[in-house]
Amino acid sequence: NQILSSLILFDEIHYLPETGSTMDLAKELAEKKKRALVIAERQLSGRGRLSRTWESEKGGLWLTLVLQEPLPLKEAYLLTYLSSVSVAKAIQETYGLQAKVKWPNDVLIQGRKVAGILLEIKAEIDALSYALIGIGINVNNSVKEKSFLIPGISISEALGKKVKRLPLLKDLLHHFEKLFSKKNEILTEWKALSETLKSHVKVKTPEGTFIGIALDIDAEGALLLELEDHSLKRIFSGDCIHLRN
Ligand code: BTN
């Protein structure tokens, strides 16, 4: 198996022609203390963040990584940033497309969403017992205009041709492992690829909607927003729309 040779991360790799969501088998494996990679050719009930559905037709890359790292709970947020950076870099290197990251969990090409990350964790007191990192990348599948809050795009649409997915997967895992071992570089890398920072944004949070300039990501992973009255707002989770300046 070509993938296996480049991996040190997994006890098991599961390839499913069809499943509900890769998150489900990933969770079962996680409960059995496995480090695993679950990939599906097609998902019948793919899940996005905030209980949204995620269209997962054939042709995309739909996978979940099961990690069993005893990461301190307060560092768990790094996993989303780590994943989006790895996806963006892999897209750039594999296909020569300029990919950027958008807060909190998206990867963009030409300002349109090409990939999303769904992080589910189980914690014990103040450390992670496991993490499920769901990654969905629109590769050769077609993307409906209204699938996301922002316009979507697939890699084949950006390139005007169908592409191989295995090189993308390998490069993604390579970056993931490499950056995982250099945790203090994750935020710097994310910021360097960010389309959100310095932008005028509208962020919907459980507390309400805020409009301002995205200044930074702080040491706890929160987005720092400068509101129109110049006060600062720290936002830990929400949905973000980039406004035209
Ligand atoms: C988002 O942008 O809302 C996150 C999307 C995450 C989609 C991936 S596809 C593989 C894994 N299985 C799922 O059901 N969801 C994630």
What separation in Å is there between the alpha carbon of 165 and the centre of ligand 1? 17
Range of the domain at 147: 4-192
**Which of 150, 61, 64 is closest to 103 using CA atoms?**
150
CATH number at residue 206: 2.30.30.100
Pick the last residue of a domain from 192, 208, 227: 192
- What is the predicted pLDDT for the residue at 83? 98
Most ligand 1 atoms within 8 A of CB, residue of 44, 114, 118, 241 to mutate: 118
Based on the domain organization, do 145 and 210 belong to the same domain? Answer: no
Based on the domain organization, do 105 and 217 belong to the same domain? Answer: no
Whole-complex ipTM = 0.99
Most ligand 1 atoms within 8 A of CB, residue of 47, 107, 113 to mutate: 47
Most ligand 1 atoms within 8 A of CB, residue of 14, 22, 27, 54 to mutate: 54
Q: Report which ligand 1 atom has the smallest distance to the Cα of 115.
A: 2
- What is the predicted pLDDT for the residue at 144? 80
Based on the domain organization, do 80 and 162 belong to the same domain? Answer: yes
- What is the predicted pLDDT for the residue at 51? 86
Based on the domain organization, do 120 and 223 belong to the same domain? Answer: no
- Which strand ranges, in their side-by-side order, compose the sheet holding 106-109? 12-16, 36-40, 61-67, 127-137, 112-124, 106-109, 99-102
What separation in Å is there between the alpha carbon of 74 and the centre of ligand 1? 23
Q: Report which ligand 1 atom has the smallest distance to the Cα of 20.
A: 14
CATH number at residue 89: 3.30.930.10
**Which of 66, 61, 67 is closest to 87 using CA atoms?**
61
Ligand 1 pocket, CB under 6 A: 21-23, 43, 46-49, 52, 54, 56, 62-64, 105, 116-118, 134-136
Strand ranges (E), 95-173: 99-102, 106-109, 112-124, 127-137
Pick the last residue of a domain from 192, 212, 228: 192
Based on the domain organization, do 237 and 119 belong to the same domain? Answer: no
Nearest CA residue ID for atom 11, ligand 1:
134
Based on the domain organization, do 175 and 64 belong to the same domain? Answer: yes
Based on the domain organization, do 25 and 142 belong to the same domain? Answer: yes
Please give the tally of structural domains in the chain: 2
**Which of 219, 224, 221 is closest to 201 using CA atoms?**
224
Pick the last residue of a domain from 169, 192, 215: 192
| Beta strands at 12-16 and 36-40: parallel, antiparallel or unpaired | parallel
- Which strand ranges, in their side-by-side order, compose the sheet holding 223-227? 232-235, 223-227, 208-217, 200-205, 239-242
The pLDDT tens digits along the chain (245 residues) read: 445 445 556 889 999 999 999 999 999 999 999 999 999 999 999 999 988 999 999 999 999 999 998 889 989 999 999 999 999 999 999 999 999 999 999 999 999 999 999 999 999 888 999 999 999 999 999 998 666 678 899 999 999 999 999 999 999 999 999 999 899 999 999 999 999 999 999 999 999 999 999 999 998 899 999 999 999 999 999 999 988 76
Based on the domain organization, do 95 and 183 belong to the same domain? Answer: yes
- What is the predicted pLDDT for the residue at 125? 86
Based on the domain organization, do 87 and 142 belong to the same domain? Answer: yes
Based on the domain organization, do 133 and 22 belong to the same domain? Answer: yes
- What is the predicted pLDDT for the residue at 8? 56
C-alpha angle with apex 62: 92 to 131, nearest 5 degrees? 95
- What is the predicted pLDDT for the residue at 50? 87
The stretches of the chain forming alpha helices (DSSP H) are 22-31, 78-95, 155-159, 166-180, 186-192
What separation in Å is there between the alpha carbon of 226 and the centre of ligand 1? 30
Based on the domain organization, do 204 and 114 belong to the same domain? Answer: no
**Which of 73, 56, 169, 57 is closest to 119 using CA atoms?**
73
- What is the predicted pLDDT for the residue at 47? 96
Based on the domain organization, do 72 and 144 belong to the same domain? Answer: yes
Q: How many other CB atoms are there within 10 angstroms of residue 188's CB atom?
A: 11
Nearest CA residue ID for atom 16, ligand 1:
134
